[in-house]
Amino acid sequence: MTYRGDAVVIGAILTTVFGSSAAPAQSDFRNYRCADGTQFITAFFDGDTRAHLQVDGKAVTLTKRLSLTGTRYKGGGVTLEIGRAGLTRLRHAKRPVTACEQA
């Protein structure tokens, strides 16, 4: 009885079963700079409707909200609006809304 041969076969089966079924998660990272000097990073992941931000040294997860003019995310005192025409606006830390563009 050879244990080494069995281990190779079992390893090949596990790789085939688990390796091919797990699809890598796709993500989209964007850097922004705003008119008021704020800089932030957003991350969007496939299968996740939320936006994940890094702003003012803090991570914030925003929930997608209803918007007629584009996409709006809100949570943790932060609101991010991404318009259909590409205009992006951010409101955070009780500051006024500011226009932002991808860096």
Instruction: Report which of residues 69 and 17 the model is more confident about.
Output: 69
Task: Give the integer Cα–Cα distance in Å for 64 and 88.
Answer: 15
Cα of first residue to Cα of last residue in the chain, in angstroms, is 62
Task: Show the tokens assigned to 90.
Answer: 């951010």
Task: Give the integer Cα–Cα distance in Å for 101 and 18.
Answer: 41
The answer to whether residue 78 is domain-embedded is yes
The predicted-structure confidence for 24-70, as pLDDT tens digits, reads as follows 678 999 999 999 999 999 999 999 999 999 999 999 999 999 999 99
The answer to whether residue 34 is domain-embedded is yes
The answer to whether residue 31 is domain-embedded is yes
Q: Give the confidence band of 103 by pLDDT, cuts at 50, 70, 90.
A: very high
pLDDT value of residue 26: 85
Q: DSSP state, 103?
A: -
The Cβ-side half-sphere exposure at 59, using a 13 Å CA radius, reads 3
The answer to whether residue 8 is domain-embedded is no
The predicted-structure confidence for 83-99, as pLDDT tens digits, reads as follows 998 899 999 999 999 99
Task: Give the integer Cα–Cα distance in Å for 103 and 91.
Answer: 18
The number of distinct structural domains making up the chain is 1
Task: Give the integer Cα–Cα distance in Å for 58 and 97.
Answer: 19
CATH of the domain at 77: 2.40.128.200
Domain containing 71 equals 25-102
The answer to whether residue 18 is domain-embedded is no
The answer to whether residue 79 is domain-embedded is yes
pLDDT value of residue 24: 61
Q: Which residue has the tokens 């606006």?
A: 89
The answer to whether residue 54 is domain-embedded is yes
